[in-house]
Amino acid sequence: MLKDVFMSLSQNQLLNSTAKKYGLKLGAQSVVAGTNIEEAIQSIKELNAHGISCTVDNLGEFVFKEEEATAAKEQILKVIEAIHEHKVDAHISIKPTQVGLDIDYAFCLGNVREIVQKANEYDMFVNIDMEDYKHLPPTLDLLDELAKEYDNVGTVIQAYFHDALNMLQKYQNFRIRLVKGAYKESEEIAYQDKKDIDSNYIKLIEWHLLNGKFTSIATHDHKIINHVKNFVKKHQIPNDKFEFQMLYGFRRDMQLQLAKEGYNFCTYVPFGNDWYGYFMRRLAERPQNLNLVAKQVFNKKTNTVLGVAAGAFFLGRLTKSQNKKRK
Ligand SMILES: Cc1cc2nc3c(=O)[nH]c(=O)nc-3n(C[C@H](O)[C@H](O)[C@H](O)COP(=O)(O)OP(=O)(O)OC[C@H]3O[C@@H](n4cnc5c(N)ncnc54)[C@H](O)[C@@H]3O)c2cc1C
C-alpha cells in the first residue's frame, strides 16, 4: 500500500519540478550527496578514504525537451572531467531517459556515445542504469550499438523479470550490475512476491559469478550478501571478480565493514537538485526509510521548519491535484 503511494508520488511531475526549487529537503540530504559536482566529489573523497569506490549519478527525471537532455549530457561530461581532475576512484551511472530516450532514440544514442567516448578517453566505465520495462528494449539497443565501438560500457539486469536469466545470458560478457528491480511492473512480466524475486536474484548472481565477467551485486539485503560470501568461498571465486554495491547513505556501517573485510565495494552516489523521484523510489522500496525523514525533521531546528513547511506544501499540492483528477 505505502509502496504504491510512494511509487505514484515518484511519478508525479508537478511534485518533482516543485521539489527542485527547494534544495534537498524531507531527509533527502541523507541519501543524496549534495546538489552540485563539488559536493559530490567531496563525498566521493570521503568514501575513497575508506577504500570504497563510487559510481556517480547526476540525478534527473522527466526529460522531454532536447535542451534539457543536452544540458544533462553536458553536466555528465563535467562530472567525468571532475572525476579525472580530482583523481578520485569513481565511474559514471547514467539513465537513458535523462539524455533523451523519451525524445528520440538517435538523439539519445548520440548523447550516450559522447558520454561513453569521453569516459573512454580516461579509461572510465559507464553504467547504463535500467529504468522501467517500457525503456528496457531501447536501452539494450543502446548497449548493443555502443558495444560495437567501446568496451567501457555495461548495464543492469533486474531480477524481478521472469526473463532475467535469458537477458543475463545474452549480456554475460558485459560488466553487469545485478539488482532486484525498483519499478512497479505487471505480473505478466515480473515476479511480485519478494520470495520469488529473491530466489531469482540468487539464481542470477550464482550464474554470473560462475560464468560471466565482473559482477556487481547491488543490494542492501544482508541475507543475500551472506549467501554470496559463502558461495564465492565454496567456489573459490576471487574477490577481484565481483563487488558489492549499495546506495549512498544506506547501511553505512555495513558498507564500511564489507570494505574493511577486503571485498570490493562501490557506493552509488546520486547528486543534483532533481532528487525527488529518486528519493520517493527509495521510500517505496522500504517505507522504513521514512526514518530518514523523521530524523532530519526532528534532529535539527532549521530542518524542522523547512522540512515541515516543504512537506505541508507538497502534500497540499498533491491533494489539490488529486481532487482535480477526481472531478
Ligand atoms: C547500487 C545500486 C544500484 C541500483 N540500480 C538500479 C537500476 O539501475 N535499476 C533498478 O531497477 N534498480 C536499481 N537499484 C534498486 C534495486 O533494484 C532495489 O530496488 C533496491 O536495491 C532494494 O532492494 P534490496 O536488494 O536492496 O533489498 P530489499 O529487498 O529492499 O531489502 C531486503 C532486506 O534487507 C534489509 N534492508 C534493506 N535495506 C535496508 C536498510 N536501508 N537498512 C537496514 N536494512 C535494510 C531488510 O532486512 C530488508 O527486508 C539499485 C540498487 C543499488 C543498491
**Per-residue pLDDT tens digits for 269-278:** 999 887 777 7
Is residue 129 annotated as a catalytic residue, yes or no?
Answer: yes
| pLDDT per 10-residue tile (average), the chain, 327 residues | 66 65 64 91 97 95 90 97 98 96 98 98 97 96 97 97 97 95 93 97 97 92 98 97 95 96 97 80 71 51 41 44 36
Of the candidates 57, 102, 129, 198, the residue annotated as catalytic is 129
Geometric angle at alpha carbon 131, from 124 and 155, rounded to 5°: 35
Tell me the pLDDT tens digit for each residue of 146-191.
999 999 999 999 999 999 999 999 999 899 999 999 888 999 999 9
Which atom of ligand 1 sits closest to the CA of residue 289? 41
Give the pLDDT confidence score for residue 320 in this predicted structure. 44
Question: Side chain identity at 68, as an amino acid letter?
Answer: E
Pocket test for ligand 1, best of 126, 136, 180 (most atoms within 8 A of CB): 180
Asked if residue 268 has its Cβ within 6 Å of ligand 1, the reply is: yes
Pocket test for ligand 1, best of 142, 167, 219 (most atoms within 8 A of CB): 219
Q: State the chain's mean pLDDT as an integer.
A: 86
Which atom of ligand 1 sits closest to the CA of residue 55? 1
For 56, residues 6+ apart whose C-beta sits below 8 A from its C-beta are 40, 44, 79, 83, 90, 91, 92, 93, 269, 270, 271
Give the pLDDT confidence score for residue 284 in this predicted structure. 75
Which atom of ligand 1 sits closest to the CA of residue 245? 1
Give the pLDDT confidence score for residue 62 in this predicted structure. 77
Cα–ligand 1 centroid distance for 220 (angstroms): 5
Give the pLDDT confidence score for residue 308 in this predicted structure. 39
Which atom of ligand 1 sits closest to the CA of residue 180? 17
Give the pLDDT confidence score for residue 297 in this predicted structure. 46
Geometric angle at alpha carbon 170, from 166 and 174, rounded to 5°: 130
Provide the whole-model pTM: 0.87
Give the pLDDT confidence score for residue 113 in this predicted structure. 98
Give the pLDDT confidence score for residue 273 in this predicted structure. 80
Of the candidates 175, 177, 281, 282, the residue annotated as catalytic is 177
Give the pLDDT confidence score for residue 4 in this predicted structure. 73
Give the pLDDT confidence score for residue 183 in this predicted structure. 87
Pocket test for ligand 1, best of 177, 195, 220 (most atoms within 8 A of CB): 220
For 168, residues 6+ apart whose C-beta sits below 8 A from its C-beta are 157, 176, 178, 204, 207, 208, 212
